Structure 1
Amino acid sequence: MTKNQDAAALAKAQSPSLKQAAASASGRSALMGAIFLMATSAIGPGFLTQTAVFTNQLGAAFAFAILVSILIDIAVQLNVWRIIGISEMRAQELGNTVIPGLGWLLAILVCIGGAVFNIGNIAGGGLGLNSLLGLDVKIGGVLTAAIAIAIFLFKRLSDALDKFLVVLGVIMIALTVYVAFVSGPPVGSALKNTVLPDTIDWLVITTLVGGTVGGYITYAGAHRMLDSGQTGPDNIKAVSNSSITGILITGLMRVVLFLAVLGVVAGGISLTGETNPAAAAFEHAAGEVGLRIFGAVLWAASISSVIGASYTSATFLVPNRPEKKKLQNWVTIVFILISCSVFIFLGTAPALLLVFAGAFNGLVLPVGFTLMIYVAIFRQKDLLKGYKYPLWLIIIGVIGLIIAWFLAYVSFGSVFDLLSS
């Protein structure tokens, strides 16, 4: 046998293992992307404003609300990721299997809420680039949407989506950690209030839960996880660890942002009445540099939320089949284009529309999560492929479900109050 033949034979023998290694690496990358898609989808413009407002309102006691919301988030995502991961079916597919039409109802709720909030996400991208580079807000919003579209339009960029999300997440956390360090927050008081709060506001806690696992965010990471191939009963450990990691990353960002704002508030500066309390906090903490950092954080939060809302909404409208991947990308692009067009016409998302979208998001969590708990209890043999679902996970899931329905009640109560006023 010649040297060339030997080399060819060796390459042929090695090729299956090389392909397996490449597939494994691709799966890990997609799973990491799923973790950061869930985390960065939750960290949007509303997340930044919400955290600043509540920190200004509650001070160090907000630490307790953050802890409780993280625990509830873990209870929800542990169940959602595990059920979708084991069944290897998207949420709407599970819904239509259990009750014909339920999946499409869930898809409508996700897409309505996602579309309206996407207008706000694009507006946030414009504001971020305005603070960072001084660009006109509308130009910044269009540029943000264009970058998001390019990611789904060009295959090379689409393949790098998971890495892009990881980079955005790291940038947001690193910059906010710097501002938290500069602002000099009373860490001891924050730690004390984490377990022994001076005050407890359950409405704030339910609002936080809605902001981190409400609407499309509930399914963003779980649907992306299906693309990783690391699903089914054999991969249950990876699925569970990934869901917790995503929530902890979101929680870490919430904590460092809270500390950054707390340092400003504890220094005697009130953010009440500020048009953009988060931006004001960053500027008070680090001056002009702080404002530029806020712009970078806001833009990263906005574009990652644009990607998360658009991608997840598309997964609810397109079947989960390899041959439909290109169609899913085009639906995602159209979703971004529609949101961007409305933003250009209106300049921002109208407050009333955002309130109604919040109400829809308040429904998505309990409706979808009721489906998940039902599957966990009654459809283990068929939809979960014989997997024996842990009783402890069902118990914490039911507790989370009760809180989710309360959140929906509060959400729609706010809408009715607004309309009657």
Structure 2
Amino acid sequence: MKFNNWFKNIGPGPLIAAAFIGPGSVTVCTLAGAGFGYALLWALVLSIVATIVLQEMSARLGIITQKGLSDIIRTEIKHPWFKGFVIVLMLSAIVIGNAAYEAGNISGGVLGLQTVLGNPTVNVFGYSINILSIILGGLAFVLLYLGNYKILERVLLALVILMSLAFLVSAILTQPDVVSIFKGAFVPSFPDNSLLLIIGLIGTTVVPYNLFLHASLVKEKWNKTSDLGLAKKDTIIAVVLGGVVSMAIIVSAASMQGNNISNASDLAKSLEPLFGSFAKYFLAIGLFAAGLTSAITAPLAAAYVASGCFGWSSHLKSKKFQSVWAIVLILGVIFSSIGIKPIDIIKFAQVSNGILLPFMAVILLWLVNKSSVLGAFKNSLKQNILAILILLISILLSVATINKIFNFNLF
């Protein structure tokens, strides 16, 4: 009975987990495991704690105010120049950024399908069109166009469960050393040439657009202060599950340490001779589910941010709301199906996201300490101390991202 009640009270937490376990996360985790074994698992433990703290604050804001995060920011920041700067930054990082990343989300899901189905293409006007990209984009489009939160929640929950089982079974098949896993998870180490991967593991888990997505989605599910406990439990369970899935990918890849592996598709093919076709199929299914979930949540987050910034309705069937996610999704399908990588836009988006994360951590911390916004539900001293520590991490991530883009060689 208790399990049924918990299942009924599942909220947007699994959608948040679905959003941060995308093809980018899968690739970074694969590289971390193949390159350094279990040694970087601690970075994911740190990421899980940081994500829980930030997402809980975001969810609390959404439930108490019944507004999206970008909407709250637009109304609470009074200085016109600073407000304009923050709105432009949010639109650049989330709307333009997610449009640039969407091709990668779809391509990642397609990689999983190609591992099993091959690479069906058709030639149109001299371009080789990948049919699987169009199919995956079409699935995402239908689910978003239905405009039904409950359907979206259940489909993404099913995909998260499928993805979790796929990656966890893959990890178990490799018969990992449990003692070494615990050591890697709780004893920080910094092997040579591992710093950028450590930052990548944190950066693909602590995702700025998830803060906007969470604040907007919780109000679809909950609207009473008595629901805060359910939202917190939902956040903790989902983020921990997402973190465990990411760890499972590292563990799977660690079994192939030293091999030339650059993504999960390579890993799936490499595991087959050692652990049988099951390993290949489980990893392929996991990669497909990771790509599809991110292909749905990225356009959705972009639509919520744009709606809040411009004061539009954020109802799932609002025409303006639908037009934003449709543009993001269609651009992703086009770029993915013809193999174009908009490098300059992606670099711009990475810089914007790198700047946005510490800004969002500061603004979020400011909002959750305002009595006029949260009243009796504002942050406690303990919550503020944790949030400040995470702010310092976000600043490190920001500097590292910009350093990576511009090759300043600060690390």
If the TM-score is normalised by the length of the shorter chain, which range does it land in? 0.7 to 0.9
Of the three residues 270, 279, 282, the one matched with 2:259 is: 270
Of 48-57 and 219-228, deviating more is 219-228
Q: Distance in 1 between matches of 2:87 and 2:57?
A: 18
Q: Distance in 2 between matches of 1:124 and 1:139?
A: 14
Could you give the per-residue CA deviations for residues 249-299 of structure 1, whole angstroms, max 9, x where no partner exists? 21110122222222332xxx5235679554355435534443333221111
Could you give the per-residue CA deviations for residues 231-253 of structure 1, whole angstroms, max 9, x where no partner exists? 45332212222221221121110
Within a 5 Å distance, the mapping from 1:288-307 to structure 2 comes to 288-307=277-296
Q: Distance in 2 between matches of 1:367 and 1:344?
A: 35
Of the three residues 24, 35, 53, the one matched with 1:57 is: 35
Residue 213 of structure 2 is matched in structure 1 by 220
Residue 19 of structure 1 is matched in structure 2 by none
Q: Aligned pairs, how many?
A: 386
- Report if the CA contact (8 A) 2:166-2:286 is conserved: yes
User: Is it true that 1:391 corresponds to 2:367 in the alignment?
Assistant: no
Could you give the per-residue CA deviations for residues 141-189 of structure 1, whole angstroms, max 9, x where no partner exists? 110000111112235x764211111111111111222211211112211
Call closer, same or farther: CA 1:272–1:394 in 2, change over 3 Å. same
Within a 5 Å distance, the mapping from 1:222-301 to structure 2 comes to 222-228=215-221, 230-265=222-257, 269-271=258-260, 277-283=266-272, 285-301=274-290
Q: Distance in 2 between matches of 1:153 and 1:26?
A: 29
Q: Distance in 2 between matches of 1:193 and 1:245?
A: 22
Of the three residues 401, 406, 410, the one matched with 1:416 is: 406
Q: Distance in 2 between matches of 1:292 and 1:163?
A: 23
**TM-score, scaled relative to structure 2:** 0.85
Residue 264 of structure 1 aligns to a residue whose secondary structure is: coil
**Could you tell me which amino acid in structure 1 is paired with residue 170 of structure 2?**
V
- Report if the CA contact (8 A) 2:47-2:206 is conserved: no
**TM-score, scaled relative to structure 1:** 0.83
**Could you tell me which amino acid in structure 2 is paired with residue 61 of structure 1?**
A
Of the three residues 351, 356, 359, the one matched with 1:359 is: 351
- Report if the CA contact (8 A) 1:79-1:393 is conserved: no
Of the three residues 145, 148, 158, the one matched with 1:153 is: 145
Of 75-84 and 241-250, deviating more is 75-84
Call closer, same or farther: CA 1:388–1:196 in 2, change over 3 Å. closer
- Report if the CA contact (8 A) 1:68-1:205 is conserved: no
Call closer, same or farther: CA 1:275–1:244 in 2, change over 3 Å. closer
The offset of 1:348, in angstroms, is 4.4
Q: Distance in 1 between matches of 2:41 and 2:315?
A: 46
Of 63-72 and 365-374, deviating more is 63-72
- Report if the CA contact (8 A) 1:67-1:194 is conserved: yes
**Could you tell me which amino acid in structure 1 is paired with residue 373 of structure 2?**
L
- Report if the CA contact (8 A) 1:80-1:369 is conserved: no
Call closer, same or farther: CA 1:351–1:185 in 2, change over 3 Å. farther
Q: Distance in 2 between matches of 1:324 and 1:316?
A: 13
Could you give the per-residue CA deviations for residues 301-331 of structure 1, whole angstroms, max 9, x where no partner exists? 0010010101111111225747673322343
The offset of 1:95, in angstroms, is 1.2
Of the three residues 162, 166, 171, the one matched with 2:162 is: 171
- Report if the CA contact (8 A) 1:153-1:329 is conserved: yes
**Could you tell me which amino acid in structure 2 is paired with residue 301 of structure 1?**
A
**Could you tell me which amino acid in structure 2 is paired with residue 60 of structure 1?**
Y
Call closer, same or farther: CA 1:391–1:325 in 2, change over 3 Å. farther
Identity rate of aligned residues, in percent?
22
Q: Distance in 1 between matches of 2:263 and 2:42?
A: 25
Call closer, same or farther: CA 1:274–1:213 in 2, change over 3 Å. closer
User: Is it true that 1:107 corresponds to 2:91 in the alignment?
Assistant: yes
Could you give the per-residue CA deviations for residues 6-28 of structure 1, whole angstroms, max 9, x where no partner exists? xxxxxxxxxxxxxxxxxxx9998
Could you give the per-residue CA deviations for residues 84-122 of structure 1, whole angstroms, max 9, x where no partner exists? 332222111121122243345323321121111101111
Residue 125 of structure 2 is matched in structure 1 by none
Q: Distance in 1 between matches of 2:407 and 2:236?
A: 36
- Report if the CA contact (8 A) 1:49-1:278 is conserved: no
Residue 136 of structure 2 is matched in structure 1 by 144
Q: Distance in 1 between matches of 2:273 and 2:350?
A: 30
Residue 328 of structure 2 is matched in structure 1 by 335
Residue 16 of structure 1 is matched in structure 2 by none
Call closer, same or farther: CA 1:322–1:211 in 2, change over 3 Å. closer
